Amino acid sequence: MYRPGNFVFWGFMSSDAAFIMGLAIAALIGGRLVHFIYMSGKKKKLTRVYQDKHQDFDGILARYNPYYKSLDGAGRDRFLKRVLIFMEFKDFKYIDIEAEEKMPLLISSAAIQLTFGLESFLLDYFKTIYILKDNYRYGLYNVPFEGHVGDDGIYLSWSNFIREFADYSDGQNLGLHEMAHALTYVNFTVQDGRDTSFHDKFTDFSAVARPVFERMQAGETTVLDTYAATNYQEFWAVCVDTFFERPTPFKRQLPELYLSLCTLLNQDPLTPGKAGPIPEG
């Protein structure tokens, strides 16, 4: 039955309904236009930064990030472009420390290293990254923190971040560790920035990882740092640390777990190109 004002088609709407619909459409178009202009401006800015700072940033990344240094020219180019995009969409706040150009660059590189094989790499939910000078106190905890991920952002102590990237063989890396926590947070807690492939494959990873975690909780020692037995969230982050910093002993001792991480992250640190389809076995 006809009810005034409820027609779906524009030509049969009442004048008030048509006016309201017109405003809604105008707002939608206007919003998309603003977004388009905003993103176009971002793209131009990123292109300019890439052209102006490419050589400087390449040198910094090659000096401090072994993963980046091992990439070929095309891989470095793709990596650096992702780093610049990540930096552009994050607000870096410095607490009791003077800002340096390399800080946001290297911190962003940790996020890109972890997500290099994924389609979604921005960790969109996290708008702010806090950089602190050294260990810090947080909340009611009695122990000092090196870094953590909270609802309000990602926190990293710079002294620990840079020290652990300098020692790239001990299986401990604060930047990768906290970005690993951030990655699962955006995929399973808030789902703002979710990567569909990572989200869907995590169950398969856990089918392999859980038994290893449970054995470690029971006292078994492995190539993974003992901190992995703290809880499953820390087990996941320690797996990431070891995957990138000690891939050879990781693959040798826990081959199924290593391969499951390769599949989950769509990359293998032991292959030249790092990211891409992972071969069987």
Which is nearest to 184 in space by CA: 84, 91, 92, 265?
A: 265
The pLDDT of 110-137, averaged and rounded, is: 97
User: Among 15-19, 27-31, 109-113, 268-272, whose mean pLDDT is lowest?
Assistant: 27-31
CATH code: domain 33-265 is 1.10.472.150
Predicted local distance difference test score (pLDDT) of residue 9: 31
88-123, pLDDT tens digit by residue? 999 999 999 999 999 999 999 999 999 999 999 999
How many residues are listed for the chain in this entry?
281
Torsion of CA 167, 235, 126, 165, to 10 degrees: 0
Residues 195, 257, 273, 165, Cα dihedral to 10°? 90
Average pLDDT, the chain: 87
Give every CB contact of residue 136 below 8 A, 6+ residues apart in sequence.
95, 144, 145, 155, 157
* 280 strand-pairing partners: none
Q: Which sequence spans correspond to the domains of the chain?
A: 33-265
Band (pLDDT 50/70/90 cuts) for residue 182 is very high
Give pLDDT, residue 40. Answer: 56
Q: Which of 118-127, 237-246, 257-266, 270-279 has the lowest mean pLDDT?
A: 270-279
d(C-alpha 46, C-alpha 107), whole Å: 18
Tokens (6 digits) for 203: 């169950």
Interval 38-66: pLDDT, tens? 455 666 778 787 788 889 999 999 999 99
* Residue 158 in this model has a pLDDT that exceeds 50: yes
